[in-house]
Amino acid sequence: MGFNNQGTTEMVKRLKKRKPGIIIGGNIGKNKNTPIEDSAKDYEICFEALFDVVDYFVVNVSSPNTPNLRTLQEKQPLTDLLLRLKKLNNLKTHPKPILLKIAPDLINEQLDDIIEIVLQTKIDGVVATNTTISREGLKTSKEAVERMGAGGLSGKPLTNRSTEVIRYLSTKSNKAFPIIGVGGIHSPEDAMEKLIAGADLIQIYTGFIYEGPGLIKRINKKLLSIV
């Protein structure tokens, strides 16, 4: 597993060719083989390399596909990491927004820590949520699921939990920071639930596979119908 791709250098080459007017977020994380105690260096390398070709950054400490990555969600390591990136950002002439991407598997006490960290470090918001390590509610047999192996589960099994996390963060923080809602959005109704729960924006990944790009049009029509 890990973040399998051709690396930051190749990504920069491709992003330099993008058409103007398209908003791009740089989702940065540590390499699979980087010791956890050296992980901040990977984030800094990605941040510096991508700065000129992305519009905002997502600090990914929540993917279950990279061993030990989620330990960076613990309060002190996460605070230290975000402060380091914030310091780098503040050295730029035009700083970019920095958001934190969190797991749906965090308990409420951990979400309370996330709120405190976001307010303390003064980053620009939260992406809620990443994929889940839970396998609850699946129709496939437990044995078959276990044979498929570890990794993050996305799509409809994530819909309710990601909405719960959005609602908790929004309510408990009194909407103190923007939230990008993501996780199991397969219909206009799913999108509305995220927005009503407190999301300011939404992202779609798995929904594109099963519903196609027309899902965006259906969501927009739904939003326009209630404005």
Residue 59 lies in a domain: yes
1 domain-assigned = no
Asked if residue 170 belongs to a domain, the reply is yes
Distance CA 63, CA 70 (A): 7
Alpha carbon distance 205, 155 (integer Å): 8
pLDDT band at residue 65, thresholds of 50, 70 and 90?
confident
Asked if residue 131 lies in contact with residue 154, where contact means CB atoms within 8 angstroms, the answer is yes
Range of the domain at 196: 8-226
Q: Which residue has the tokens 């790009």?
A: 213
Backbone angles phi, psi at 79, to 5 degrees: -60, -45
Whether 169 maps to a domain, the answer reads yes
Alpha-carbon distance of 208 to 33, in angstroms, equals 31
> Is residue 118 scored above 90 in pLDDT?
yes
Mean pLDDT of 76-91: 95
| Structural domains in the chain (count) | 1
**pLDDT band, residue 216 (cuts 50/70/90):** very high
Q: Which two tokens stand for residue 174?
A: 């009194």
Q: Report yes or no on whether pTM surpasses 0.85.
A: yes
- The CATH number covering residue 21 comes to 3.20.20.70
Mean per-residue pLDDT, 188-202: 97
| Residue 145 domain-assigned (yes or no) | yes
With beta carbons less than 8 A apart as the criterion, state whether 89 and 121 touch: no
Nearest one of 32, 25, 182 to 102, comparing CA atoms: 182
Any domain includes 2: no
Residues marked active site are found at 63
Amino acid at 219: I
Q: Is residue 50 part of a domain?
A: yes
Distance CA 194, CA 182 (A): 8
The pLDDT confidence band at residue 74, using thresholds 50, 70 and 90, is confident
pLDDT band at 53 (very low <50, low <70, confident <90, very high): very high
Report the mean per-residue pLDDT for the chain. 93
Query: What pLDDT, on the 0 to 100 scale, is given for residue 36?
Result: 84
Q: What is the DSSP string of the chain?
A: ----SS-HHHHHHHHTTPPTT---EEEE---TTS-GGGHHHHHHHHHHHHGGG-SEEEEE---TTSTTGGGGGSHHHHHHHHHHHHHHHHTSSS---EEEEE-TT--HHHHHHHHHHHHHHT-SEEEE---BS--TT-SS-HHHHHHH-SS-B-SGGGHHHHHHHHHHHHHHTTS-S-EEEES---SHHHHHHHHHHT-SEEE-SHHHHHH-THHHHHHHHHHHHH-
Check residue 94 and give its pLDDT. Answer: 97
In a domain, 193, yes or no: yes
Question: Distance between CA atoms of 81 and 216, rounded to whole angstroms?
Answer: 34
Query: What is the rounded average pLDDT of the residues 105-115?
Result: 93
pLDDT band at residue 130 under the 50/70/90 scheme: very high
